[in-house]
Amino acid sequence: MRGLPEIGLFLMVSGGPTCYRKTRDRRPSPFRHPPQPFFHSGNDSMRYLLLGLILGSFIVTNTHAAESEQSGALIVVGGGGLPESIVKRFVELGGGQEMRVVVIPTASSLPVDEEKIASLWQKRGAKEVHVLHTTDREVANSAEFIAPLKEATAVWIGGGSQSRLAEAYAGTAVEKELIALVQRGGVVGGTSAGAAIQSQVMIASGRTEPEIKTGLNLVPDAIIDQHFLKRNRMNRLLSAIDQYPHLYGIGIDEATAIEVQGRECRVLGNSFVVVVQDQGAGKMPNIRTFNQGESFELTPIE
């Protein structure tokens, strides 16, 4: 795996990871009570993450695909620059030159420039581009508003604030149409906030203690965190998984994505994806790392 000599040297110099034990009630807490972080030191968190990167390199990552619950796909991008390889894969999944894409820019606080958005996606190869934007849940539930989603082969959700997306669309007809799109073979993609919104248990904000809100029910049995290595968000994801031990924590770095088909996930892009799984009270969580082209499954956690 790339960078392993440097990671090993860092661990030797820094004294290795901090070991710990945790005890807690196994019942998931309400969304309004996020858990306390495991680590109170950013350095401890980074050492632990780097240990995970080393251990992850020895894990066999070629898994047998689970039975697909859907015929389409999700592209979940960790923010930052968007590599051409990820764009190309999204367009391919969306129908190539026949792609009819709906772009949702609601996460952004900037004014929506429909012409600019349409021009960008036409250059990327889309046959048709529709821009869908509202902050009114009543509008989001209207037949007229969701009509383009019924004809779309692809949807792209832009970055900004995932809370804006959740407040506008979670639990509305828009969410139902996104699920239907994937079930009929289309693709839903998003970056940054557009990635975080794709898990129903959604990290809305927080440096180490996550604020949890309800997102879209797209990625099964997982909590997504983005900008993961760039912004050192290991504490935040560990804390979220402690609160929801029946879910996988998926940390996606910038310029990196996972392609989700059913429960099979494949890494695309330039950096790492970190997968965290709770192992029970008093035990360290299982931390695995995956690089471009490697795969893992979101097998339901008992």
> Is 31 within a domain?
no
CATH code where residue 202 lies = 3.40.50.880
The reported pLDDT for the residue numbered 52 is: 52
**Token pair 């695909």: residue:** 65
Residue 117's SS3 state is: helix
d(CA 265, CA 246): 18
> Is 166 within a domain?
yes
Q: What is the largest CA-CA distance in the chain?
A: 61
> Is 55 within a domain?
no
> Is 132 within a domain?
yes
241-291 pLDDT per residue, tens: 999 999 999 999 999 999 999 999 999 999 999 999 999 888 999 999 999
> Is 127 within a domain?
yes
Total domain count, the chain: 1
Helix (H) or strand (E) holding 167: helix 162-169
Shortest CA distance to 281 belongs to which of 9, 21, 104, 41? Answer: 21
> Beta partners for 211?
205
Measured CA distances, 88 to 126, 133, 211 (Å): 11, 24, 33
Residue 257's SS3 state is: strand
The reported pLDDT for the residue numbered 50 is: 53
Domain that holds residue 131: 64-297
**Measured in Å, how far apart are the chain's first and last C-alpha atoms?**
31
Strands (E), 20-114: 73-77, 100-104
d(CA 221, CA 261): 13
The reported pLDDT for the residue numbered 49 is: 55
d(CA 101, CA 130): 6
Answer whether 257's CB lies under 8 Å from 224's CB. Answer: no
Residues near 85 by Cβ (< 8 Å), separated by ≥ 6?
268, 269
The reported pLDDT for the residue numbered 282 is: 86
d(CA 148, CA 153): 10
> Is 44 within a domain?
no
**Which residues of the chain are modeled with pLDDT < 70?**
1-70
Q: Tokens in use for 92?
A: 């391919």
Residues near 84 by Cβ (< 8 Å), separated by ≥ 6?
none
Query: CA torsion, points 301, 245, 63, 4, in degrees to nearest 10?
Result: -160
> Is 281 within a domain?
yes
pTM of structure: 0.80
> Is 102 within a domain?
yes
d(CA 233, CA 253): 10
